[in-house]
Structures are given as structure tokens and as C-alpha cells.
Structure 1
């Protein structure tokens, strides 16, 4: 049998905007359990690499769509709050559930990085979500995560302690000024002295729009959404993640779910893996950046873990 997943464009509406993505399903008749991907920070969303094919081979349909203002989707992701993104995710879920070839009671979310926060929030608002998988989804607030990222990512890139302190000051200034009512364009202009600094592009806020976005979500804390979560949760982290405080996130997720007496959650840390759960093994191609090797291969067992965990919560086939 020649395995070739079936791909079709799927569009849906949220907040007056048409959002467009790829719906990928197995080449055999359904109905299928399904997964909706929840993209992380920045633009993008549709390009999930081989993941949709991997899920189709296991019997799952999936939807990956362009965020507002990315690819074929209308709108502007920089104007969204976390609550906006959660509502958008639920609109995507409704679009998938409405298909005759999807099992409407078996739709899960996979959220990467910032998408982990969004997936928690969406699932807490819809108790029909069958399961949630987060990949490097922080358990701490946005501001705490961003401060951690700047300290560790800039250091890994070879920037000095003085550079890191200045970057943290700019982040704090952006948040405080926008929160106080200042125009993000004025905040951006006031930081013009630093725009040509080599580390400046690594800030989350480098334009008026992105400054407004990061300031608007900086106080988001995932604890209430985690406490309200009822569906099974698989939270995956990379032990050498430079962008997310892994130990603090593991403690926060575990504490929130434990206090809520959440019945089915699994937290897995892959030693030596980065934010994308990749490890440099020395056997494949790699690039050197900032004096460090960037990982080249997905951590062994990661793909199998996600698929088998989902299969146990949303069985595939006629005996489900």
C-alpha cells in the first residue's frame, strides 16, 4: 500500500477574519480522531514539518493554520491577547468538529511554546477538548519566561552581562510604559539608540506592533487555566531549553494540577534537548552559532511518546 495522506485547504472565521490552513487526514475512510495545532509566538502556523504526515500514519486527522496576518489568513496576530488566541483556537476546533470525517468528541490540541499557554486556556474553556499536548509550554508567566529567555539566550549567543542587563531594562520599560498608556510607537522611538545593537533583534518587542503585543500579554499567568483543566495533559520539555525555565515550569504545572486534583497528567523532560526538543548527536548536519552547536535531530522517543499518548486517550479504529 502506498501511504500518501490526503490534504485539503480548510478555512474558518474568527473575529471577522478568515483563517486558512491545511487539513490532513489518513488515506483510508474515517471518521478519525483529530488534532488542532496551536502555534507559538510570532507569525506562521501552517508549516508543521512532517508532523501532520506522522499523525495521519497513526490514524489521526489534523489542522495546522496560518495565524492572523500570516500566509493566507486575514487579521493581525499582534493585536491579540491570550484570550483572543484561545477563542481563535476554539473556532478552529469547531471547524474540525463540523466535518463528517472527524469524531467530534475526539479532538485534541498540540500547543508549542506560547501555544502551550493558549492550549491550556482553550481547553479550560471547552470541556469537550479530548486532550492537550504542550511542547515547551511554559508554566510561568509571560514576563518571567521572557526575562529568563533574554538572560540565557543572549548569554548563549556570546553577549555580555551589560548587554543582557540593557535588554532586560528595555523589556521592562516597554511593558511599564505601554501599561501606563503610552503609545507603543513613542516607546519604540524612545529606544532608538539601541535599535542597531546586535542583540536588539532578540527582543520580543522590536517594532511598535510587537511592543504592544508583548506588553499586552506580559502579565498572563497560566495557573488559573491549569487549575480549570479537566482533560488529560501531556507536558513535554527539553532539559537544555534556553527559552523556557524548565524546572520552574515543571514545578508550576505539577503544583497547579496537583492542587486541582487533576486526574490524568504526564510531565516529561528530555535531557539535553532544546526548546524544539532537538539534540545534537554528532551524527547529522549541524550549524555553529555563538560558539555552540545547534541541535540537528529530534530527541529519540519524542514522536513515539506524543502519538502513543494520544492513541491511549483517543483510540483509533472501529473498537474505540
Structure 2
């Protein structure tokens, strides 16, 4: 079940538009209070409903444990006669229908390309934790400290964890940089904690690691919604400044590890910056955000089983909307032009494809495209779509290790590694390696297909082979 933006982005798991429809019976106020659990496709989902007696209305939250999503806000829960409406704006989700009895809700879940029967059963509010054998458990053979520091302008207070080898000083250190979307210091996704696993492995081998909550997450303050990659560059630099104050850290051996969008931010920090000793790029973009979005959407739909004709027809509309949002100076104009292009597309596209995509209904189609326009016009997205990673990469002179997985459908290895290599060569960098790791997905899990549906079902959090490669490479890079 998709949790965030209305399109696929690096790292974040997203869908175009989500509708829930449930069917049947008669209920009264307060009877639905409690926890409701069911499967949305392969994902366990839990809706927590509470009755607010003062306001005479329901409130609630949504959990998707398989995707690592907990406490997602529900905007409205409306009970009217024998029907219920559940609206979750954050994930563009709407549940419509009625309850068969006080213990069960049945109905259908719809997306543009398919429908799915759904049953929610009232439960006792169980706590789910997926099996994640790589997650380290205390006691640790190293020091782990909660730390805090401020941005240069004192507007953002960061909270994170610094892990240090058990004894000694002047250690090499790395800062972990997360991919797109607000993430905590462990990089938690689908109940995996890849940054925790990476930090544990590196620190056991003599490398200090700083991992930090993103803006607006857990112990870090600040505004994430209106921030762009340019802001996140400043956040990383604040971390570098902090590490230089620690006597345990060698200030000449501070490097960066960036995943996905973080792999685009790391070169921006390191470009012309002699304070950065090395960078490791994991599933990093080498091409523009627009190119990534187009290639990943096409790959995702094909991997999900959509036929090539439907994908080609839809991608024509998708790119047209994307261009409309980039070319227009304001959202209102972009929205009006998008509606015009949607109508033209509906009239020219094969009717059977339009129907298969669920775009034949004018209201539904406009809702889908409106969601895309809203997402494409956000500050972060505008920056992402137009940012070219090549110019910063040409200015990076420190050692660089770039690794992508062969089954990564979000930031595909071939075009991105080739572009990274070309930019580094153009800039005259003599100390870099690019590697395509067979069988690994975007999260660096050993995967069958690389499809997003596998992320939560794979027990491996992060490839042990890549952990060893990074560790060996970093220790070699800082030994000179």
C-alpha cells in the first residue's frame, strides 16, 4: 500500500492514486472505535479508529507495518446512516462504503490499473515487527552516543547517533545521507533499518559513523516540507562542522555515504570542498530527475505486469503533464493546461487502454492528474526534476565509490553509473570506482525481480557483500 507522494521517486514508494470502496450494513456512532486489520495486496494494513466524544466524531491513524509506516494521519472518518468515509490526504487514500457488522468491513480497493477485494477485521491492536536478522542488538563492541548540534544559522537543531570504536581517537568518520522523503537516523523503511546496519558494520571495523534524523523527524527540528536538496546540503555541512569538534575524529578523514537522493547531495557537498576526504554513492542519480522519473515509472509498470502498449500510452501523458508543470510559472496555469492535454489524450489514446488505466471517467482522470500537478509543483520536486548531478560531480576531486544494483528499478544502474563515470572523468578525477552489483535492488537487498513489492518481504536489510566492499574501500581511501 503506497505511503507517500503520488508518483515514484528515488527510495520512496508511491502510486498514482488510491481509492478504497467498502460495502454493506448499518452502524451507529462509537461502534467502530478500535483497530481494523486487513491485507491491501501483500501489505498488512491497520486502521486505528477513536471516538472523540467532545467533537462527536471519529479520529484515526493508519499503520502499514510491512512498509515501515506507522501513525499515518487520517484526515476524516465520516459516518452517515449506513455508510462510512475514511479520507487520508497524506497518501491520497479514500475509503468509501458501509460495514457488514461490528466486526468486519468488506469491499474493494481500486487503483487505475486494477481492483482488489479487501476485508478488514476488528482486532485487539496487535503490534507487528517483521523478521530483520541483520539488525544489531546490544551490547555493542563500540561506543554509541546520542548527539545534537545546530545548523550554521541556528535555525535547525539536529539529533542523531554517533558510533565510535571502543578505544582510541583520530578515527576516520562518515556521515550517512538519506534518500528522498523524511527519514529517521536509521533510514527506516518497510521496518528495515539500513543505516543502523551500515553504521554497526563500519564502526566494528574502526570507522566512526554519524547518522542523523532528517528535518522534522524525531529529534531534529526544522521544516522538511519546503526544503530542497540545496537545504539538505547545508544540513550535511553542519554535520561535518560538528564532527570536526570531536577529538575522537580525524578532521582530515571525514567522508560521506549517500543513498539515492543522498547520493546526489554528497557530490554537491564535496564539490570543490577539500574538507571531504571521500564519498560513497549508493544507488545515486547520474542523470536528471526528470529522466529518472520517466525511466523508473516505465520500469515499475512493466515489472508490475502492465503490457507495453498501456505503459507507452500512459507514459506519453505522464511526460506531457511533467513538462507542463516545469514550463509554467504558476500552478493554476499548469493545472489548466494539464486538463486540456488530458482531454486530448483521452480522445486520441486507444479506448481499451484508457479503460484499463481507469482514466475513462473524467472525474477520476482529473483527480489523478491533479495529484500529479500538485506533486510536480512542490519545491522539492521542482528542484529534483531539473537538477543535473553532472556539474557537481565534475568538481569532486576526492576518491569516489559509486555502487548500483543490477535489479534497481528506481535508479537504474546502467544509465546512472555511466553518467557518474563520465562526469568524474570529465572533471579529471583519478580516484574513483563504479560498480554494478548483480542481483541487488534499490535498497541493496538480494532480490528476485527488484519490484517494490519485494522490499518488505525480503529479510535481508543490506547486502553483506556491499558492506564489506564499502568498508575495505573506505579504509584504503583514508590510509593515504
TM range (shorter): 0.7 to 0.9
Which residue of 2 is the match for residue 5 of structure 1? Answer: 143
1:138-177 equivalence runs, <5 A:
138-159=285-306, 161-162=309-310, 165-166=313-314, 169-170=317-318, 172-174=320-322, 176-177=324-325
1:9-53 Cα offsets, whole Å, 9 max, x none, are 233225522222111112213221110011111110401132211
Q: List alignment gaps of at least 5 residues for structure 2.
A: 1-138, 187-194, 343-362
CA RMSD of aligned residues (A): 3.3
TM norm structure 2: 0.57
Moved more, 294-303 or 17-26: 294-303
Which residue of 1 is the match for residue 475 of structure 2? Answer: 311
Structure that is richer in strand per residue: 2
Moved more, 211-220 or 293-302: 293-302
Q: 1:14 to 1:289 in 2, by over 3 A?
A: same
CA distance in 2, matches of 1:116, 1:169: 29
Query: SS at the partner of 2:146?
Result: strand
CA distance in 1, matches of 2:447, 2:426: 37
| TM-aligned CA deviation for residue 117 of structure 1 | 0.7
CA distance in 1, matches of 2:402, 2:206: 22
Which residue of 2 is the match for residue 243 of structure 1? Answer: 410
Which residue of 1 is the match for residue 94 of structure 2? Answer: none
1:207-226 equivalence runs, <5 A:
211-226=378-393
1:77-88 equivalence runs, <5 A:
77-88=224-235
TM norm structure 1: 0.83
1:168-208 Cα offsets, whole Å, 9 max, x none, are 634652553365222389859979735876xx9xx9x6865
1:170-319 equivalence runs, <5 A:
170=318, 172-174=320-322, 176-177=324-325, 179-183=327-331, 187=335, 193-194=364-365, 211-280=378-447, 289=453, 295-297=458-460, 298-315=462-479
Is the counterpart of residue 89 in structure 1 residue 205 in structure 2?
Answer: no
Moved more, 152-161 or 92-101: 152-161
| TM-aligned CA deviation for residue 78 of structure 1 | 3.3
Given that 1:78 and 1:210 are in contact with CA atoms closer than 8 Å, whether structure 2 keeps it comes out as no
Query: SS at the partner of 1:77?
Result: coil
Q: Which has the higher contact order (CA 8 A, sep 6+)?
A: 1
Q: May I ask how many residue pairs the two structures share in their alignment?
A: 306
1:256-281 Cα offsets, whole Å, 9 max, x none, are 12222211001111112111221148
Which residue of 1 is the match for residue 88 of structure 2? Answer: none
| TM-aligned CA deviation for residue 133 of structure 1 | 0.1
Structure that is richer in helix per residue: 1
CA distance in 1, matches of 2:313, 2:225: 26
Given that 2:406 and 2:412 are in contact with CA atoms closer than 8 Å, whether structure 1 keeps it comes out as no
CA distance in 2, matches of 1:150, 1:99: 44
Q: List alignment gaps of at least 5 residues for structure 1.
A: 282-286
CA distance in 2, matches of 1:263, 1:147: 32
| TM-aligned CA deviation for residue 2 of structure 1 | 6.8
Q: 1:229 to 1:164 in 2, by over 3 A?
A: same
CA distance in 2, matches of 1:259, 1:266: 14
Given that 2:404 and 2:412 are in contact with CA atoms closer than 8 Å, whether structure 1 keeps it comes out as no
Flag the structure with larger Rg.
2
Query: SS at the partner of 1:218?
Result: helix
CA distance in 2, matches of 1:20, 1:185: 41
Given that 1:106 and 1:314 are in contact with CA atoms closer than 8 Å, whether structure 2 keeps it comes out as yes
